[in-house]
């Protein structure tokens, strides 16, 4: 028997199959543990907390392009479960989501190619537990705001964060302290400990911060800004009455102005950088980092009008079909959101959307944390103060705490959904009823793995 015959015999033996399977399973466990490493550890190791201008300037957009052999710009290692779409979540949990949808209306969202999917509730931030999975940012404001971001213990001591008896979550700026000219006001900035690449993010608010010198935002990004993108879901300054949705990216991503949305594109003349061929450049390295933005048409999307009519919901859908934002004032919230069975393709055109037609979303946006903040003045609110009806200067406005009575988030909940494909419909033998299910992923993936081993053996 030749050496080649021995090698062939060894490679096709059951023992060899077992050894390879065991080795891959061990590798999957190790890699999954790597992926699930403590966010706090990652923060300390890679400096995700350090959102500051110095790091941003050093890591400018030109450094986002991968260089051969540059491991820091390669895709993150993923576990075996991730490779097959099996992220360790309960199959029974997905069945419950499908069952609930069938009991409600049997309706499913659909991609452009007709394939069906639904949104499965993944994380809820609400009530007393709202801050449990949030990290507090207590460093210098990267937007040069006149703000002192405080840590959680200080925020609780000064009642900048608390929960009301009805479960409403309050985050606010300091509204008690008189400041000398030039002093900074205490405020809060928080972010999710978990990061997300895609999903449906639903924020229900009674009010969002507004007022002269005030610059709040509900947004997402990560430490590799601008390489992995920034999505400003809700943002405004001063006495603005319309929310501005904006994307900031590395070079090469453009907003397609011909897409279907109800808002108005933000056209800036800074550095003589108008839209080109029906698109707006999202590159953070040009046009004064204006990004590509869209104003919502409704006055109920930001400011006092939003608050007067009882607040509402802002929802951001991020998947392969686009990054879209909808706003619903209180009396117009879709019933499917109240039922936790969102059906985004029944909501009508979004207020704003970034389509994949002019931007590779998988390349420009990934691994985001979700952020809330309230800052003051700075590179936007400070520069534009004289263009408003606000009195005095931004610096003098900072002195009187009475000027910040509206600098408050009042939140009912933040719900985050994950996209689940629906693979098949099954007829129940007992009742004869039809029930769609998304649970074929486990069986199909494991069968594919087994067939793959058999093939190579």
Question: For the segment 421-444, what is each residue's pLDDT rounded down to a tens digit?
Answer: 886 544 444 444 444 444 444 444
CA torsion sign for 432, 438, 442, 443 is positive
Tokens 């009396």 found at: 331
The tokens describing 182, both together, are 């030039």
- Band of pLDDT at residue 19, cut at 50, 70 and 90: low
CA nearest to 242, candidates 202, 293, 279, 206: 293
**Is residue 303 within 8 Å of 253, Cβ to Cβ?**
no
**Is residue 189 within 8 Å of 136, Cβ to Cβ?**
yes
The tokens describing 250, both together, are 């590395």
Average pLDDT over residues 108-130: 90
What's the Cα-to-Cα distance from 260 to each of 96, 187, 257, 354, 355, rounded to whole Å? 34, 37, 8, 10, 10
- Band of pLDDT at residue 337, cut at 50, 70 and 90: very high
Average pLDDT over residues 277-298: 87
Spatial separation of the C-alpha atoms in residues 281 and 453, rounded to whole Å: 47
**Is residue 134 within 8 Å of 190, Cβ to Cβ?**
yes
- pLDDT recorded at residue 100: 52
Pick the residue with more confidence: 86 or 297?
A: 297
Pick the residue with more confidence: 70 or 324?
A: 324
Average pLDDT over residues 76-105: 43
For the chain, the C-alpha Rg in angstroms (whole number) is 25
- Band of pLDDT at residue 299, cut at 50, 70 and 90: confident
- pLDDT recorded at residue 199: 97
* H or E, element range at 4: helix 3-11
Spatial separation of the C-alpha atoms in residues 128 and 57, rounded to whole Å: 38
Spatial separation of the C-alpha atoms in residues 313 and 373, rounded to whole Å: 18
**Is residue 226 within 8 Å of 422, Cβ to Cβ?**
no
Catalytic residues: 230, 235
Q: What is the pTM of this model?
A: 0.75
Class assignment of domain 117-419? mainly beta
- Rounded to 10 degrees, the C-alpha dihedral 198/436/86/83 comes to -70
Please say if the pLDDT value at position 54 is more than 80. Answer: no
Q: What are phi and psi of 81, to 5 degrees?
A: -60, -40
- pLDDT recorded at residue 61: 42
Please say if the pLDDT value at position 90 is more than 90. Answer: no
What whole-number percentage of the chain has pLDDT above 70?
67
What 8-state DSSP symbol labels residue 384?
T
The tokens describing 233, both together, are 């879901």
What whole-number percentage of the chain has pLDDT above 90?
55
**Is residue 221 within 8 Å of 59, Cβ to Cβ?**
no
Which among 301-310, 376-385, 408-417, 441-450 has the top mean pLDDT? 408-417
**Is residue 119 within 8 Å of 318, Cβ to Cβ?**
no
- Rounded to 10 degrees, the C-alpha dihedral 214/217/221/225 comes to -30
- pLDDT recorded at residue 268: 61
- pLDDT recorded at residue 404: 97
CA nearest to 171, candidates 129, 208, 140, 141: 208
CA torsion sign for 395, 401, 406, 412 is positive
CA nearest to 415, candidates 94, 121, 168, 117: 121
């Amino acid at each position: 028997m030749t050496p080649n015959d021995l090698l062939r015999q060894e490679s096709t033996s059951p023992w060899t199959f077992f050894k390879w399977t065991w080795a891959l399973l061990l590798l999957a466990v190790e890699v999954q543990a790597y992926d699930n490493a403590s966010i706090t550890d990652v923060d300390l190791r890679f400096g995700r907390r350090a959102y500051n201008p110095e790091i941003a300037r050093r890591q400018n957009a030109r450094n986002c392009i991968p260089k051969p052999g540059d491991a820091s710009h390669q895709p993150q290692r993923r576990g075996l479960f991730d490779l097959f779409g099996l992220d360790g979540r309960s199959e029974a949990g997905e069945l419950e989501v499908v069952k609930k949808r069938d009991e409600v209306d049997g309706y499913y969202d659909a991609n452009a190619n007709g394939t069906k999917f639904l949104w499965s509730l993944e994380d809820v931030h609400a009530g007393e537990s709202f801050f449990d999975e949030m990290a507090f940012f207590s460093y210098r404001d990267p937007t040069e705001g006149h703000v002192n971001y405080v840590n959680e213990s200080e925020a609780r001591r000064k009642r900048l964060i608390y929960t009301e008896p009805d479960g409403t979550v309050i985050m606010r700026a300091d509204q008690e302290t008189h400041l000398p000219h030039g002093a900074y006001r205490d405020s809060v900035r928080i972010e999710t400990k978990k990061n997300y690449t895609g999903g449906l993010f639903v924020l229900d608010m009674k009010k969002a911060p507004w007022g002269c010198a005030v610059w709040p935002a509900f947004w997402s990004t990560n430490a590799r800004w601008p390489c992995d993108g920034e999505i400003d879901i809700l943002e405004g300054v001063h006495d603005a009455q319309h929310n501005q949705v904006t994307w900031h990216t590395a070079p090469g991503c453009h907003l397609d102005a011909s897409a279907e949305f109800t808002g108005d594109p933000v056209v800036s003349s800074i550095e003589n950088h108008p839209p080109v061929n029906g698109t707006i450049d999202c590159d953070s390295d040009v046009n004064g980092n204006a990004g590509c933005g869209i104003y919502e048409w409704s006055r109920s999307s930001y400011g006092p009008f939003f608050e007067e009519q009882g607040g509402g919901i802002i929802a951001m859908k991020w998947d392969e079909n686009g990054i879209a934002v909808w706003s619903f004032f209180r009396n117009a919230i879709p019933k499917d959101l109240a039922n936790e069975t969102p059906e985004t393709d029944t909501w009508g055109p979004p207020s704003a959307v970034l389509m994949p037609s002019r931007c590779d979303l998988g390349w420009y946006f990934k691994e985001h944390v979700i952020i809330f903040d309230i800052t003051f003045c700075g590179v936007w609110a400070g520069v534009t103060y004289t263009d408003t009806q606000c009195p005095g200067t931004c610096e003098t406005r900072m002195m009187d705490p009475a000027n910040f009575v509206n600098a408050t988030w009042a939140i009912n909940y933040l719900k985050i959904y994950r996209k689940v494909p629906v693979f098949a419909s099954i007829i129940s033998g007992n009742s004869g009823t039809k029930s769609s299910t998304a649970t074929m992923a486990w069986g199909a993936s494991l069968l594919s793995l087994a067939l793959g081993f058999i093939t190579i053996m």
